[in-house]
Amino acid sequence: MKDIKTIIRDLRKSNIRLSLKGENIEIDGDLTAEMLLEIRQFKEQIIAYLKQNTSTVSFNRIAALSPDSDYSLSSSQRRLWILGQFEEINAAYNIARAYVIEGPLNIKALEEAFHKLVERHESLRTIFTQDDNGEPRQVILDPEDHRLKMVYEPQHNQALSVAELSGYVNELSFRTFDLSADALIRIHLCACAPGKWVLVYVMHHIISDAWSMGILLNELLYFYRSLTEAGVLPLKPLPIHYKDYAAWQQLQLQQPQMSLHRDYWLAKLEGELPVLDMGSDKLRPLVKTYNGGVLSRRINSSLTTGIKNLSQEHGATLFVGLLSIVYALLHRYSNQDDIIIGTPVAGRDHVDLEQQIGFYINTLALRMRFEEGMSFEALLCAVRQSMLEAHEHQSYPFDELVAELDLKRDPARNVLFDVMVMLQNTKLDQPQVPETSSEIIVKSYEESGSVVSKFDLGFGFIETNDEIHLNIEYNSDLYSVAQADQLAGHFEQLMMAVITNPESAIQEVDFLSKVEKQLLLVDFNGNNTSSVLTKTVVDLFEDQARKQPGTIALAFNDQQLTYGELNQLANRYCRHLQEDKQLGRGDLVAVKLERSQWLIVALLGILKSGAAYLPFDPLYPQQKIDFMISDSKCKAAIDKKAIDLFSGKADAYSAENINASVSSDMAYVIYTSGSTGFPKGCVITNANLAAYISWANSYYFKDGIPASFGLFTSLSFDLTVTSIFCPLTQGGKIHIYHPEEELYDILKHSFSEESGINSIKLTPSHINVLSQLNLRSNVIKYAIVGGEEVTTKQVEALKKIHPEIRVYNEYGPTEGTVGCVAKELHPNQPVMIGKPASHANIYVLNSKSALCPIGVIGEICIGGDGVSSGYLFNTSLTTEKFINDPFVADKKMYRTGDLGRWSASGELAFLGRMDHQVKVRGYRIEIEEIEMNIAEIDGIENVVVLVKPNPEGDKELAAYMVCKDDLDMISIRKSLSSTLPAYMIPDHFIRLEAMPLTVNGKVDKGKLATLESGVKEKVPIIAPRNEIEEKILEIWSEILRRQDISVLDNFFLLGGNSLKAMKLVTCIHKEFNVRIKLADLFKYATIEEIGKDISRKIWARQGKEVQDADLTTEQNFIL
């Protein structure tokens, strides 16, 4: 099949013009029968091409400029010139092509053909300098004075290996250009075997584009033929050159019709612009990188035909159909409803530009907003309309649009979008190489070496005879080969699904393979041994009482109870409740006891009676206690007075075993905070409790030694369940700490020999307290951490106490019964929450309960035997949160509201709460990531970050910290700037003596938000300290239009951009007669550093040497 561009180009050579009128082709010119047949044969492809590459704007002819010393740049050239100031970025904008030549090649003729090519196209002998005002200008070199050489390397006449040849081509492709001095094209000819050469030509993007590369090869070989064969007609001279186009473009921007295009794009991109977050196993570098890889996949003829037909049925082109699938895939991967994708257009809709070599390509930023429940066919129609509008307004330069928008720059990302999509119409297995003499054969060289990725992801589609070839180009610093392969597979599977059911809602489309479902549902939940448990925790406790009645079960102050004594006392109390209080199965008993041996007696007695307990912390405010008693309809309440009455007559009740607990009955109710402002009672059954305790005993304690715990946390916190029932069902011991003991003393004693315990259940906030005690002890063998997100630093703190201590991260909401996911943690390893417990099924789902693929963020959902029976007397909320498990019949599943994702190894990562996802300064912020990075700074003992409104109503970040006194805020900010993007660095740092904790041992964020004490610190505004800094401040104030500037502020963080940066360079030159390169401005982005640089340059005039500094993260901010 001929390439569509070739068909249209051949027609134009015959003075035949094609244009669109609706969905029909209008033809201007005299056609031959063969031409008409060809147009009819490829009508669909021609219409699609014209839609994608034709603007509705009518243009004036482009006038040739009078000769001058230099010329202005086009909009797109200006952007690449700025990027070209950085050597590490420069090579990313090289465009390289390689071809294999076989036969009797005339090397001198080939070199002369190259000279003729360079002479014909001014763009190939253009360099870029700066005028006295610092403005970039393009300079056209004289072809005779600057004859460019083709580099011939004959030393490789012996056959080169594939690896050697690939390395050679790659090395040439990645050599950087000096835009101000080098010719921006290089041609190398390498003899790789007798009678065989590889021709490599490399150009900088600032003088070329993909279309240009085809023109270059065509004309190079045409000139070669003219030099080696007779009768070849000379090419017609070019009427204009790129410099003429650049000047014409600037004139066009002043035309009234351009205002219509400008207004269209500004309206499309108004408001807060989305930043695509696809999720990745790798952390995004603070500064954008260009390291890449490419993954290829063929889409078979059946799917290709299917998407073509579906697109045609909805009046769309193949490209629109493919683009719609990419949108749907990104929507499913990111869970974002607002996505911008870039796509290139040739930018050569003016007839004078068809045979030009230059940087003409334009980019369209296509924004798509997804509606709730949107089907694929609705998306397809929306994308079709968006594409039609975009092509109608394609004449407005992308780079002018970027300059118009008030964009918040992130140095780690591209401007506006991070995903590019393009479609080529060509035959894959026969690359388009122009005809040459029969004596030599020219073929495309297909090499698989290093890849530059300008975007996070690039989807390149090549249409062949009856298939589509997909190339996914990915940034290898963000994505692995496995992730790219998964993405390609999901693209194909999603295509298959939407072809079959285009009316299905996109969020509900099943595009996972059977293998993936097996992983997510079975293999990752491979430890699941869910079964009907007949024994309750009371049964398990009584088993221990029978086996070892004389073993110490608990200790409080100087009192101890053996298992036999504890069981007998619990039996007596059970009968007291049954006989005197008429309590039994289904009843709820409020427990308002402080920690003592009687607390354990009461709990066991309640459970033995068949009733359930409702824990109250004595420190709860009375209003909360009153609400819980009223809401729970509890039948009785136990406090110290009730226990005292019982203890006086305990002997009156039988001590014989009694156990009315039933697995299906509730064991306890814990009230958790609710979104309505009122707490809700979560019901945990005996079966739930027994499932958790049975798993915990087998998972955490594998050495056969019974677990003994210290009990120091509130009963109202389900973390305490582990500390009570794990030891009592193993034959271990509980050491109960007096409620009046200080936390410091409790933790210190827990790690001492006299405690008699070997296990501890604690929160990360407890670890922060422990780290201040400088303990060294091998007493505690097992530390189970839950309730909050744990950091690597906290793991290290525990290991510092005892290197052999086993630290476990336990995850689970109250509704999942204490814990349902766990992992043993080690220093210097990423903190994951781990793998599902044996009694749990864990899923990561989207909002429509569809499985999220590996690596894709979704809501953590819990199934299995630990799932609560619901909320007490709250049917509506129970129905909302506890839904039917879509993967296990007759089971319930709880939606946690927590975000997570699976790793390839089947471990779960916790990524915060869904309701904690906030946007600050236009970016989606993950609070936990900020806290983690601050916590890693030496001297920081504890930190919590909150989002608070400022007086103007804008959101700001406030970091509340417990830290060493000598740690200043400037040094903290400096440290964070090396690990966090600028928009994630808090505006305020509030120093605290201690972090307020709730009764459950968690940080009291409610109290923090209203905290008035503490030292609130911001980096102070430092005034200029010398005349140079004063002058620079005046320039900054004028350019940035603000006065509140410190000499330590970063120019780009205050709103500086590329245009303002160029203006700053010009103003500094005029004021100080010192030239600062744009790259230097990125190095010295503060008034203080710019002042020092100016001083160094002044000193350099006097013969002193000046060394350049390295770029920092923030100094790359504009990029």
| Mean pLDDT by groups of 10 residues along the chain of 1119 residues | 68 71 73 77 77 58 92 92 71 88 92 94 94 87 83 68 78 87 89 87 93 90 90 89 94 89 94 88 83 93 96 93 98 96 89 89 96 96 95 92 80 90 62 59 72 91 89 94 96 97 96 96 77 83 97 95 98 97 95 96 98 90 87 95 94 95 96 75 97 96 93 92 98 96 93 94 91 91 93 93 96 96 93 95 95 96 97 95 95 95 95 76 72 87 84 76 78 78 79 80 78 53 89 91 85 74 83 79 79 84 50 33
Cα-flanking dihedrals φ and ψ of residue 430, to 5°?
-135, 80
Whole-angstrom Cα distance, residue 330 to residue 337?
10
To the nearest 5 percent, what fractions of the chain are helix, strand and coil?
Answer: 40, 20, 40
The pair of three-digit structure tokens given for residue 943, joined into one six-digit string = 């930190």
| Interacting residues of 925 by C-beta distance below 8 A, sequence separation 6+ | 917, 918, 919, 947, 957, 983, 984
Query: Which residues face 895 on adjacent strands?
Result: 861
| Tokens 């924004």 sit on residue | 367
Q: How far is the CA of 76 from the CAs of 73, 358, 968, in angstroms?
A: 8, 11, 44
* Model pLDDT, residue 51: 67
Domain ranges of the chain: 4-53, 75-245, 256-433+449-511, 917-1017, 1027-1116
Do 447 and 349 meet the contact criterion of CB atoms below 8 Å apart?
A: no
| Domain 75-245 = CATH 3.30.590.10 | no
DSSP assignments along 377-413, one per residue: HHHHHHHHHHHHHHHHTTTS-HHHHHHHS-----TTS
* Model pLDDT, residue 899: 94
Amino acid at 1066: T
| Interacting residues of 793 by C-beta distance below 8 A, sequence separation 6+ | 935, 936
Helix (H, G, I), strand (E, B), or coil: what is residue 800?
Answer: helix
Closest residue by Cα to residue 863 from 873, 847, 849: 849
The pair of three-digit structure tokens given for residue 339, joined into one six-digit string = 């996505």
Beta 291-299 vs 338-345: how paired, if at all? unpaired
CATH of domain 917-1017: 3.30.300.30
Do 307 and 502 meet the contact criterion of CB atoms below 8 Å apart?
A: no
Other Cβ atoms within 10 Å of 1106 Cβ, number: 12
Cα-flanking dihedrals φ and ψ of residue 800, to 5°?
-70, -35
| Interacting residues of 830 by C-beta distance below 8 A, sequence separation 6+ | 792, 909
* Model pLDDT, residue 1119: 32
| Interacting residues of 732 by C-beta distance below 8 A, sequence separation 6+ | 706, 707, 708, 709, 726, 759
Beta 126-130 vs 136-140: how paired, if at all? antiparallel
DSSP assignments along 565-623, one per residue: HHHHHHHHHHHHHHHHS---TT-EEEE---SSHHHHHHHHHHHHTT-EEEE--TTS-HH
The pair of three-digit structure tokens given for residue 545, joined into one six-digit string = 């009482």
Other Cβ atoms within 10 Å of 337 Cβ, number: 13
Whole-angstrom Cα distance, residue 552 to residue 548?
9
Whole-angstrom Cα distance, residue 172 to residue 251?
38
Whole-angstrom Cα distance, residue 208 to residue 825?
53
Helix (H, G, I), strand (E, B), or coil: what is residue 1047?
Answer: coil
Amino acid at 131: D
Whole-angstrom Cα distance, residue 90 to residue 181?
14
Whole-angstrom Cα distance, residue 992 to residue 1012?
11
* Model pLDDT, residue 1111: 34
Do 921 and 274 meet the contact criterion of CB atoms below 8 Å apart?
A: no
Do 427 and 3 meet the contact criterion of CB atoms below 8 Å apart?
A: yes
* Model pLDDT, residue 518: 95
Q: Which CATH class is domain 256-433+449-511?
A: alpha beta
First to last CA, the chain: 41
DSSP secondary structure code for residue 447 in this structure: -
Closest residue by Cα to residue 363 from 411, 333, 336, 400: 400
| Tokens 């069981």 sit on residue | 567
Beta 840-845 vs 835-836: how paired, if at all? unpaired
Amino acid at 929: E
| Interacting residues of 789 by C-beta distance below 8 A, sequence separation 6+ | 764, 831, 910, 912, 928, 931
Do 335 and 846 meet the contact criterion of CB atoms below 8 Å apart?
A: yes
Topology alike, domains 75-245 and 256-433+449-511 = yes
* Model pLDDT, residue 1083: 64
Amino acid at 1112: T
Helix (H, G, I), strand (E, B), or coil: what is residue 441?
Answer: strand
HSE, side-chain direction, 13 A CA sphere, residue 696? 36
H or E stretch covering 747: helix 743-750
* Model pLDDT, residue 2: 60
Query: Which residues face 87 on adjacent strands?
Result: none
CATH of domain 1027-1116: 1.10.1200.10
Whole-angstrom Cα distance, residue 933 to residue 940?
10
Max CA separation in the chain (angstroms): 124
